[in-house]
């Protein structure tokens, strides 16, 4: 399929392509450039409705399991901090840098 770049840098996608991908008005595309192969790649991004549906499903799973999402987040952050600190200790780097108070002149 060949398309033409129109005024204001607009491109019209062929109807066959839109039907094949199930695109609708307002669909969001992420454009990527593959310079090595001379390609322009368009990735279809999820709509806001799809993102909201995913977030709701995650919330439902958390609620069904009887877990509190705030507690889960706090535990996840604590694990992440612990892993970071352990990594820094292995590398023999200071875990936290404490600023020394400035001396008054």
Per-residue pLDDT band for 16 (boundaries 50, 70, 90) equals very high
Distances (CA, A) of 74 to 25, 51, 81: 39, 23, 11
Over residues 10-17, mean pLDDT: 90
Q: What is the pLDDT at residue 93?
A: 60
Domains identified in the chain, total number: 2
In a domain, 33, yes or no: yes
Residue by residue, DSSP assigns 13-36 as PPHHHHHHHT--TT-EEEEEEETT
Q: For residues 63 and 77, state if they share a domain.
A: yes
Give phi and psi for 2, each to the nearest 5.
-120, 135
Give the domain range for residue 74.
Answer: 49-90
CATH of the domain at 19: 2.10.260
Q: For residues 33 and 58, state if they share a domain.
A: no
Q: For residues 60 and 83, state if they share a domain.
A: yes
Rounded CA separation 85/83 (Å): 5
Pick 14 or 105 by higher pLDDT: 14
Q: For residues 41 and 55, state if they share a domain.
A: no
Token pair belonging to 105: 């002149």
Q: For residues 16 and 31, state if they share a domain.
A: yes
Strands, DSSP E only, in 1-105? Answer: 28-34, 39-45
In a domain, 69, yes or no: yes
Percentage above 90 pLDDT, the chain: 7
Rounded CA separation 60/80 (Å): 24
Per-residue pLDDT tens digits for 78-93? 888 888 777 777 766 6
């Amino acid at each position: 399929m060949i398309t033409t770049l129109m005024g204001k840098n607009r491109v019209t996608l062929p109807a066959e392509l839109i039907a094949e991908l199930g695109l609708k008005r307002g669909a969001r595309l992420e454009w990527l450039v593959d310079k090595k192969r001379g390609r322009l790649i368009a990735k279809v991004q999820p709509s806001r409705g799809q993102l909201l549906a995913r977030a709701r499903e995650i919330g439902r799973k958390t609620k069904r399991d009887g877990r509190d999402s705030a507690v889960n987040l706090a535990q996840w952050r604590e694990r992440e901090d612990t892993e970071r600190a352990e990594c820094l200790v292995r590398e023999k780097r200071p875990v936290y840098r404490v600023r020394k108070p400035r001396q008054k002149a």
